[in-house]
């Protein structure tokens, strides 16, 4: 079964942990430690909300964990993106649970077309498109708001819980790995946080376009977003959950520096200025 840890009232992270040194494409070549693959559930008396379904390799563990949590309640699924890390178990989950609804922010509901499900399920699963910026009042989760990520690839979304002040950040804020496989997925202390240079290597391994990006507008979008929301927990799709208001703010600051103020930026500016002179 997936590891289950509580991060707020009725909010849980379901994690499957893998060694980080097996050559995954989104990690730096020298990555060490253990990487949690995270899925999140928010539980209500008659509903369970599932954010992302995980990779196919973790299918048995995520379904076993969900059976214990969901029971006979309705299960609502929302993938943060159409990558296999987010939709890899969508088909088996739809097949395994009798009452399922799918949400998506993509046009024409393509996630159903990207997963293998029984033909009778394909036509019977309720599915609806929601818009970025929209709160999920219509499905009983008005506290959840869809956000447009600052740094992303393809059609990724972030999700913010305005009651518990949790930012579900998909594949960003995802570069804090565990030292040992049995360590808690939830970090509550700043001791041992990666520094900006270490974070930078991980960020550009996934978002390589940042190496050459003009980030003025991205920095403004970042600052505007974090004036509007003040998360006290950051819950990424990979890596450790960061729990606590001071820790969350420190992590936001560290990632800002790593993404937009790379350690060699000053040296690069000096070299460019020198080249212009000559």
- 77: tokens are 């699924």
State how far the Cα of 133 lies from the Cα of 135, in Å rounded to an integer. 7
Question: Which residue segment(s) compose the domain that 99 sits in?
Answer: 3-277
Q: Which is more confident, 23 or 148?
A: 148
CATH number at residue 214: 3.60.15.10
What one-character DSSP code corresponds to residue 178? B
Query: 68: which 2 tokens?
Result: 């214990």
Q: Is the pLDDT of residue 140 over 70?
A: yes
Structure confidence at residue 270 (pLDDT):
34
Per-residue pLDDT tens digits for 209-252: 999 999 999 999 999 999 999 999 999 999 999 999 999 999 99
Q: What is the pLDDT of residues 75-118, one digit of tens each?
A: 999 999 888 888 889 889 988 998 999 888 876 555 555 555 55
Give me the pLDDT at residue 75, please: 96
Strand partners, 4: 14
Share of the chain above pLDDT 70, in %: 87
On average, the pLDDT of the chain sits at 87
pTM: 0.89
Burial class (CB in 10 A: 0-12, 13-18, 19+), 158: buried
pLDDT at 275 over 50: no
Q: Do the beta carbons of residue 4 and residue 157 sit within 8 Å?
A: no
> Taking the alpha carbons of 122, 131, 12, 253 in that order, is the dihedral positive or negative?
positive
Which 3 state secondary structure label does DSSP give 36? Answer: strand
Dump pLDDT digits (tens) for 191-200: 999 999 999 9
The Cα 238–Cα 40 span in angstroms is: 11
Total tally of structural domains belonging to the chain: 1
């Amino acid at each position: 079964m997936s590891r289950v840890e509580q991060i707020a009232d009725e909010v849980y992270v379901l994690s499957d942990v893998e060694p980080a040194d097996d050559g995954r494409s989104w990690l730096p070549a020298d990555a060490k430690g253990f990487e949690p693959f995270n899925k999140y559930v928010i539980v209500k008396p008659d509903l369970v909300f599932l954010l992302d379904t995980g990779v196919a390799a973790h299918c048995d563990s995520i379904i076993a964990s969900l059976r214990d949590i969901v029971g006979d309640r309705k299960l609502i699924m929302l993938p943060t993106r159409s990558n296999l890390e987010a939709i890899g178990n969508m088909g088996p989950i739809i097949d395994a649970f009798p009452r399922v609804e799918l949400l998506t922010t993509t046009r024409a509901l393509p996630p159903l077309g990207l997963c293998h499900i029984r033909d009778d399920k394909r036509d019977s699963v309720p599915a609806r498109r929601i818009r970025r910026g929209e709160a999920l009042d219509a499905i009983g989760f008005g506290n959840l708001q869809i956000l447009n990520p600052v740094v992303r690839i393809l059609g990724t979304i972030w999700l913010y819980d305005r009651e518990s002040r949790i930012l579900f950040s998909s594949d960003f804020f995802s570069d804090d790995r565990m030292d040992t496989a049995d360590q808690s997925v939830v970090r509550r202390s700043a001791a041992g946080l990666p520094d900006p240079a270490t974070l930078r290597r991980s960020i550009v391994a996934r978002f390589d376009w940042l190496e050459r990006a003009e980030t003025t507008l991205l920095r403004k979008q970042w600052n505007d977003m974090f004036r509007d929301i003040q998360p006290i927990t950051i819950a990424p799709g990979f890596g450790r959950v960061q729990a606590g208001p001071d820790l969350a703010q420190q992590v936001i600051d560290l990632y800002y520096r790593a993404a937009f103020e790379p350690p060699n930026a000053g040296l690069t500016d000096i070299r460019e200025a020198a080249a212009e002179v000559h």
